[in-house]
Structure 1
Amino acid sequence: MIPESADVVVVGAGPVGLAVAAGLRLHGHSVAVIDKQAEGANTSRACVIHPRTLEMLDEIGVTKRLVDEGLELEEFAVRDADRRLIPVGFADLPTKYPFITMIPQSSTERILLNRLEELGGSILRPYSAAAVTQTADGAEVTLDSGDVIKARYVVAADGMNSTVRELAGLKMPGNTLQLSCSLFDIRVDGGLPLDEVALYFSNAGLLVVAPLPDGTFRIVAETPDAPEHPDAAYAQQMLVSRGPRKTQPKVTEVVWGSRFRIHERVADQYRAGRVVLAGDAAHTHSPAGGQGMNLGLRDAVTLAAALASALTHGDEADLDAYATNSRAEAVRVIGLAHRLTRLANLPRPLRQVRNTIVGLAGRQEKVQVKFAKQLAGFPER
């Protein structure tokens, strides 16, 4: 049943929307979550959660569940075939969670939804926001069903092509790169490490190989001509041309696959009155470094606390701080992903020179530690 009112309407029930809603319920506030899909997605998509994100998700009580169900990895490496250019270890980082957790996005969403339901929340499906009207003391969200929900705040967590962002008059300028990404999960007959995420800087282009808890491997390949449905032959060709040489992994199955264009965009502002942006509605960038969902989840935890403060005390200082500070972090993360993507896609004649320079720099411990902290989410710690 659609409520007539709620403290907050959250549009979008992906990981970001679910985390915002769980955080609000934890603070005792009513929240209406709407999503246009009839049911949650069941593909893996984003699959890595970094240390800083795990720390913050502790605040809404889901970190242990994610870690227990995921695969803990302490190693990341930038590679050229079998050679490590930059070894990156997380084990010595100053955090309670000195590792990355590999877990399919579908599992992350299920865990977040379970937590939301434990806290008395639910999702209204399938509904879209058709209009958002701001009032003196809040906003009204008109659904495509014609129903209207009155709220004090509205959270746009409805993705890169956010309807709510457009309705609020907020802009998200940026670039669409002349690159697409092939994204797929495979099964292999040996040949790939189970204890490391590898970012390959090959002559043929960028390749990411990451193990998942069920024994499959996530593959991300940046290419100008990614197929809509990659098959085993395509996956094998990506590994042969860009991945390890000595071990010669053999692809036995493509479990799931997709493609997408790379966009580098960040909203000019994260807030317009009673409407606040979070996740891909506020920022999007290259998958290099696996930062996208992590940035969105950190948005969500921070935003939930800021909204709770505004709702309880009538003080929007934390909300303003969220809009400023989270945008600044997005700019930093987009810069990191941009540099990795540009490095990976230098003109071919320069790629071996690049690898030689990166390999020399990567021998320095301070470079390794700095890179680890950037990936982990706390570059200044």
Structure 2
Amino acid sequence: MTKLPAAADVVIVGAGPTGLTLAASLTAGGADVVLLDKAAEGANTSRAAVVHARTLEVLDGLKVSGELVKRGVIVPTFTVRDRDRVLLSVPFDDLPTAHPYTLMVPQNVTEEILLGRLRDLGGQVHRPYEAVAVAQDEAGAIVTTSTGESVRARFVVGTDGMHSVVREQAGVGFTGDSYAQSFVLADVRLDWELSADEVQLFFSAAGLVVVAPLPGGRHRIVATVDDAPEHPDAGDVQALLDARGPQKTPARVREIVWSSRFRVHHRLADHYRAGRIFLAGDAAHVHSPAGGQGMNTGIQDAADLARRILDGTEDGYEAARRPVAAGVVEMTDRMTRAATAGNPAVRALRNTALAVVGHNASVRQKLAMRLSELTVGH
């Protein structure tokens, strides 16, 4: 445990991808930053694994995109199938960017690279320090930790997740709801005969399953179920693939590397700022994992807020970023409800509509721009 300084320009609470991006960006710009996290060490699980083109553009400014690409898997296509039938294929290789693809890289690797860059810039994460109170006055804000130590700063930023202490202390509402179903998340070693350069979403009468490549020959599996086991095992994942995945070339699960379950909320902070306090990442918005938008939106929040704090235009942060998150919450909610439709007639209509869309190059390009989040930056 490193001793906390008494004061800083900015105190950031939460050292996930959003907090690390914010801290590194501010430090690179010459700001004095204190980054706190209540965990004794960083995450060692893969969790969020999709890094989109716009996020890679943003992280080019921190000089970390190259290392992320080197350690990830480039995936140029997103495909939607009804079991063996291809309904829609969305290519990313014509996108107007230096990164015309989706990158699959485990979240712990993303955090490791961002932390390395922060350290190169002279910064660090202060662990384990749990923020328990945030107060503010005209001169700034004070964060008090569970150790009784306090740090005064010009600004405090909550990047401390869905259950944000900073957001609660600031009195900012978190409006929304949760989905009835739970999600299975698993990283597996798999005998898989379909394309290794696609993220594939399978529809079926039993529900959906997503299969995506990861580094090291692994695959990420995501599926909705009514009540997921706490730690899904190989049998659980195999049953999901048997019921929802390809039938002509069935997959076989050889090993579970890591698995978890989670429930998904769709919520948006009523405000992104309360006086000297700002919110970013999951502290400001949470939504369905459909499209892999969450971590990406948070990293982009961080880059925008860092630039604004450095050039004194922080008053524009909420107006710039809250509508983006509102759009993501709406889009992922529509995607999730369409993907989890239980009525056979609704499913048939959905599949027909997707097949029609799949034959329209202009619509496919618009979908690629939206999923890659390039509509935000271009």
TM, length-normalised to structure 2:
0.97
CA apart distance, 1:19: 0.3
Q: Give 1:314's aligned residue.
A: none
- Amino acid in the other structure paired with 2:373: G
Distance (Å, rounded) in 2 between the aligned partners of 1:234 and 1:354: 27
SS of the residue corresponding to residue 77 of structure 1 reads strand
Deviation at 1:240, TM superposition (A): 1.1
Asked whether the 8 Å contact 1:203–1:352 carries over to 2, the reply is no
Q: Which of residues 74, 80, 83 is equivalent to 2:82?
A: 80
Tell me the CA shift for residue 294 of structure 1: 0.4
Query: In structure 1, what is the equivalent of residue 317 of structure 2?
Result: 322
Q: What SS does the corresponding residue of 2:183 show, helix, strand or coil?
A: strand
Aligned to 1:339: 334
2:205–2:342 CA contact under 8 A, matched in 1: no
- The reply to whether residue 356 of structure 1 matches residue 352 of structure 2 is yes
Question: Matched residues in 2 for 1:125 and 1:227: separation?
Answer: 31
Q: 1:57 aligns with which of 56, 59, 62?
A: 59
Q: How many Å separate the matches in 2 of 1:172 and 1:355?
A: 34
The equivalent position to 2:238 in structure 1, one of 222, 236, 243, is 236
* Structure 1 residue 181 corresponds to structure 2 residue 192: no
Q: Does 1:155 align with 2:151?
A: no
Answer whether contact 1:193 1:211 (CA < 8 A) is retained: no
The answer on whether the counterparts of 2:144 and 2:150 sit within 8 Å (CA) in structure 1 is yes
Alignment equivalent of 1:222, drawn from 224, 227, 230? 224
Structure 1 segment 114-125 matched on structure 2, within 5 A: 114-125=116-127
The separation in 1 between residues aligned to 2:7 and 2:371, in whole angstroms, is 40
Q: Which amino acid aligns with 1:319?
A: E
* Residues 27 and 308, structure 1, Cα contact 8 Å, conserved in 2: yes
1:193: Cα distance to partner? 2.6
Letter paired with 2:267:
R
Contact conserved, 1:191 with 1:250, CA < 8 A, in 2?
no
> How far does residue 8 in structure 1 lie from its aligned partner after superposition?
0.4
Does structure 2 retain, via aligned residues, the 8 Å contact 1:176–1:264? yes
Q: Please report how far the alpha carbon of residue 357 of structure 1 lies from its aligned counterpart in structure 2 after TM superposition.
A: 2.4
Does the Cα contact within 8 Å between 1:168 and 1:275 map onto a contact in 2?
yes
Deviates more, 1:245-254 or 1:40-49: 245-254
Task: Determine which of 4, 7, 10 is the counterpart of 2:9.
Answer: 7
Instruction: Report the Cα offset of residue 5 of structure 1.
Output: 0.6
CA contact (8 A) 2:79 2:200 kept: yes
Residue 361 of structure 2 corresponds to 365
Distance 1:339 1:240 in 2: 26
User: Higher mean Cα deviation, 241-250 or 8-17?
Assistant: 241-250
The 3 A distance-change label for structure 1 pair 292 and 152 is same
RMSD over aligned Cα atoms: 1.1
Instruction: Find the aligned partners of 1:193 and 1:233 in 2 and give their Cα distance.
Output: 23
TM value normalised by structure 1: 0.96
Give the aligned partner of residue 172 of structure 1.
174
Q: Deviations over 1:76-117 (max 9, x none)?
A: 111111222111001111111101111000000000000000
Query: What residue is the counterpart of 1:313 in the other structure?
Result: none
CA distance in 2, matches of 1:266, 1:201: 28
AA partner of residue 280 (structure 2): A
CA distance in 2, matches of 1:68, 1:195: 16
Give 1:368's aligned amino acid. R
Aligned residues between the structures: 374
How far does residue 379 in structure 1 lie from its aligned partner after superposition? 3.0
Match of 2:211 among 209, 212, 220: 209
SS of 2:242's equivalent? helix
Offset at residue 192 of structure 1 (A): 4.2
- C-alpha separation in 2, matches of 1:353 and 1:148: 57
Which residue of 116, 130, 133 corresponds with 2:132?
A: 130
- The answer (yes or no) to whether the contact 1:71–1:102 under 8 Å persists in 2 is yes
In structure 2, distance between residues paired with 1:201 and 1:294: 25
Paired residue type of 2:250: Q
Residues 25-62 of structure 1, C-alpha deviations (whole Å, 9 max, x = no match): 00011100110100011000000100011001111221
* Aligned-residue offset at 1:319: 1.4
Q: Tell me, what secondary structure is at the counterpart of 1:10?
A: strand
The residue identity in structure 2 corresponding to 1:161 is H
Aligned equivalents of 1:189 and 1:346: distance in 2? 29
Separation of aligned partners in 2, 1:352 and 1:254: 33
* Structure 2 unaligned blocks of 5 or more: none
CA distance in 1, matches of 2:355, 2:261: 30
Paired with 1:246 and 1:201, the residues of 2 have a C-alpha distance of 15
